[in-house]
Amino acid sequence: MHSSHSPRSSQPGTLPGQLVAVSLWLVLAIEGAEVLLRGAPAGLPPLSIAIGALTLFVAAVVATFSLRYMRADPHQGRYYARLGLLAASVLAFVTSQNLIVLGIAWLASGVLLAALIGHRSGWAEAQASARRTRRAFLIGDGALVAGLALLGWQAGSADIATVLAATPAMPATVAVPAALLLLVAAAARCALPPFSGWLLSSMTAPTPVSALMHAGLVNAGGFLLIRFAPLFEAAPAARLAALIVGLVAAIHGVGIMMVRPDVKRALAGSTVSQMGFMIMSCGLGAYAAALWHIVAHGLFKAWLFLGSGSAVGMKPRPEGRETAGFAIPAAALVTLVLGGLLVLLGKGDATLVPLLLGIATAVATLAGSIGSAAPARARVALAGGVIALVALHAAGLALIHRAVGPDAPALVPGWALVGLLAAFLGAWLWQQQRLNARRALPPQLYVHLINAGAFRPAAN
């Protein structure tokens, strides 16, 4: 009776993994300390620092997580090399001050991500998912290259600051096409319709890759819109397009998330929705809100993906209603009235929609925590928790606001913002009323949502 003994190591993971993980933590620590002590390097906007730090942090967590999680993977060298290069390429394009560097690093990140989606080389579905991703990125990246070339040619420089300084003077015939091209590039990375398919069928990627993808890669679209904000401000049509695409994605993604019976693709539906909301905020010109969303959502989604193994456990139906029946209509009404008032008072700026949706969330959740059947002490604790989260949220937003600076001039009039708000609240009311009554969605809609991003190898 003899069992085999493996060579023992005190640290989990292979050497390439340990190298990549340690390097990522080191870079994060060194760069973080430098920015904190000496301030940002000249010309590097807070946007770049925030997204760079987010990417480094999530990549470091993911690499460390992988030391155990990927321990039995036969291609770890390749895996960690791509992971490290992916983080580096994202870092390169977010901190780049040069159009050409930005373009090359952006392209590289797409190639690396697609390769990681197809990491399991012997699996046909993984290879098909990778191809699908490459195809989506080919369109988006083509648009990016064209857009950047147009800008560089028009401004006569590859320096981003120079280009941005030149944008207000650009004729609409240049600014609008350039901005629309960048929007296409952003939509492909953010997996907004009609580009959602690649993300919704990317579950062939190992779990940590999904975590990094949803936290570090899909944000690239938002980065692009904020980085080139002056261009978009010179091309209101492109902003309007961003608003519309974002709105559609935000609502559609929620629908996808609601019907998914598998945990990972439900998270992917949620990402489509969240990215839509973020791009919509960019279109509205609420840059600080959008950036805060990028950072917080990135952490949120990476956490959920890494923890997706915990979803085993059958929940009995019917499940108790989590929010008291009156809470949602009340929260919606309060929010809408508040929105109307703010607009009447002339305070209806770009942040209005994200801000008021935050209020609606806080009100509904507070009502849910207080108006529950739980013991009084539990209710107080819950309400306290909710308030703490709201405060954290507000503080984060304020901090980003101070760093990023003013929002863009209003794109649409105040009443349109209230209309937008009403669209979200209306969808919410309808959704909650359906869920509370345990009524299924109409068959056509249900089938459409469950098939969203469906992987059809034959059709690809």
Least Cβ distance, residue 235 to other proteins (angstroms) = 25
Dist. CA 16–CA 364, nearest whole Å: 47
Q: Stretches 88-96, 159-167, 176-184, 267-275: which one binds other proteins (CB under 8 A)?
A: 267-275
Site string for other proteins, 228-247 (x = CB under 8 A): --------------------
State in angstroms the smallest separation of the CB of 164 from other proteins: 27
Q: Is the dihedral of CA 315, 306, 118, 224 positive or negative?
A: positive
> Residue 3 gets which letter from DSSP?
-
Q: Taking a C-beta distance cutoff of 8 angstroms, is the pair 105, 52 a contact?
A: no
* 194 lies in the binding site for other proteins (CB under 8 A): no
- Report the C-alpha gap between 333 and 296 in whole angstroms: 27
How many of the other CB atoms lie within 10 Å of CB of 213? 26
Contact flag: residue 274 with other proteins (CB under 8 A):
yes
CA nearest to 270, candidates 341, 208, 206, 199:
199
**Residue 201 binds other proteins (CB under 8 A):** yes
* Closest distance to other proteins from the beta carbon of 241 (Å): 20
Tell which one of 273, 285, 352, 404 touches other proteins (CB under 8 A).
273
Among 107, 186, 272, 304, binds other proteins (CB under 8 A): 304
Under rule CB under 8 A, residue 78 binds other proteins: no
Candidate list 15, 165, 244, 381; residue touching other proteins; CB under 8 A: 381
Size of the site for other proteins (CB under 8 A): 133
Residue 389 makes contact with other proteins by CB under 8 A? yes
**Amino acid making up residue 67:** L
Instruction: Please state, in angstroms and rounded to a whole number, the distance separating the CA atoms of residues 252 and 276.
Output: 9
Span of 3-11, 34-42, 44-52, 216-224 interacting with other proteins by CB under 8 A: 3-11
One symbol per residue from 4 to 43: x for binding other proteins (CB under 8 A), - otherwise; what is it?
Answer: xxxxxxx-x-------------------------------
- Beta carbon of residue 97, minimum distance to other proteins (angstroms, whole number): 28
Q: What are phi and psi of 70, to 5 degrees?
A: -100, 20
Does the bond joining 442 to the residue before it have cis omega, within 30 degrees of 0? Answer: no
Smallest CA-to-CA distance from 56 within 21, 16, 12 is with: 21
Strand pairing partners for 209? none
Among 397, 408, 411, 420, binds other proteins (CB under 8 A): 397
Nearest distance, CB of residue 192 and other proteins, angstroms: 15
Q: Are 112 and 212 in contact (CB under 8 A)?
A: no
Residues in 329-348 at the binding interface with other proteins, rule: CB under 8 A: 332, 335
Instruction: Judge if the upstream peptide bond of residue 194 is cis by omega within 30 degrees of 0.
Output: yes
State the CB neighbour count (10 A cutoff) for residue 332.
21
Choose which of 36, 173, 317, 437 interacts with other proteins (CB under 8 A). Answer: 317
Among the listed ranges 135-143, 151-159, 314-322, 340-348, the one in contact with other proteins (CB under 8 A) is 314-322
Q: Which of 271, 393, 292, 397 is nearest to 51 (CA)?
A: 292
Per-residue contact flags (x/-) with other proteins for residues 424 to 453, judged by CB under 8 A: xx-xx--xx-xx----xxxxx-xxx-xx--
- Is residue 203 a contact residue for other proteins (CB under 8 A)? yes
Residue 62 in contact with residue 83, Cβ under 8 Å? Answer: yes
Site string for other proteins, 399-428 (x = CB under 8 A): -------------------------xx-xx
What token pair was written down for 311?
């979803």
Nearer to other proteins, 119 or 227 (CB): 119
Q: Using the rule CB under 8 A, is 250 a contact of other proteins? A: yes
Q: In degrees rounded to 5, what are phi and psi of residue 98?
A: -135, 135
**Range 99-138, binding other proteins (CB under 8 A):** 120, 123-126, 129
Which residue stretch of 147-155, 164-172, 220-228, 361-369 sits at the interface with other proteins (rule: CB under 8 A)?
Answer: 361-369
CB of 112 to other proteins, least distance (A): 18
For residues 13 and 11, give the distance between their C-alpha atoms in angstroms, rounded to a whole number.
Answer: 7
Question: Is 178 or 215 the residue whose CB approaches other proteins more closely?
Answer: 215
Cβ within 8 Å of residue 127, ≥6 positions away: 118, 121
